[in-house]
Amino acid sequence: MNNPPGRGTMWRVGFSTPPDYNDHQVYCGGLKNLWDVNDGKCGVCGDPFQEAQPRDHEAGGKYGKGIIVRRYQKGQKITVEIEITANHKGHFEFNICPTNNPKFPATDACMNGYRLKTSSGHLKYYLNGDEGRVFVDVILPADLTCSLCVFRWKYFAAQNIGFGERQEHFYSCADVAIESGDVLPPVITNPPVIVTNPPVIVTNPPVIVTNRPVIPTQAPVVTTRPSPIPPNLPKCPISCKFYCQNLNYCYFDECKNCIQ
């Protein structure tokens, strides 16, 4: 059983579980072991009935690790994929058993309490010339939820004509979960709209500092050096004072070379 992948087939689809290279031959130890040794009795997941428990394909066994391989919704229609390596005719049946514990083994009594119907409303799916991958739509119970359910496919072969019910039985068990609620559509998330405002640039006017000139509060001290008096000059006439206010600019010769 490829979908949901059976306990012995999980390694083929990427799970890190022990490989069962004979996962296509989980059939109660063979025809003679099933009927001649065990009178038609078989392990609930296809192991030889006489094996010590937990059997290899049961909870706690070599391949029964309790790993949930599929999650479904109650009442969901699921597509089961079976790979047929040799068509022995006959029919498929599907069961499910809620255990809710990876170490608690399923039982035939529990499996028989949850016989699953195909999408066409039948408890059996008959093979024709099918070979290779066979897809069967199965309806899960509308009132069953579980954190761990053991989903079982059982193939009743019919190639031994004239032997009646003494035929080979093939099994596969998978650990699944059934949740409440409807199957939700995918959530479409629009990418966020990012609005970027342009940066606000605030420019303060430059502060101009002008130093005022320092005005002295005291009047400058002006020092006037007396003009040297040339020696042996005559005293100016009184008229020079009248006509020449400044002897340096006097136009009269008699007032230029004298002392006032």
Q: Is 63 a residue whose pLDDT tops 80?
A: yes
28-60 pLDDT tens trace: 999 999 999 999 999 999 999 999 999 999 999
Task: For domain 10-179, say whether CATH 2.60.40.1930 is its number.
Answer: yes
Q: Which range is least confidently modeled, 137-141, 178-182, 211-215? A: 211-215
CA torsion sign for 101, 122, 140, 94 is positive
How high is the pLDDT of residue 108? 97
Our measurement of the distance from residue 61's CA atom to the centroid of its chain's CA atoms, rounded to an integer in Å, reads: 33
How high is the pLDDT of residue 160? 83
Provide the residue ranges of all domains of the chain, joining segments of one domain with +. 10-179, 228-260
Its pTM stands at: 0.69
154-211 pLDDT tens trace: 999 998 887 888 999 999 999 999 999 765 443 333 444 454 555 545 455 554 545 5
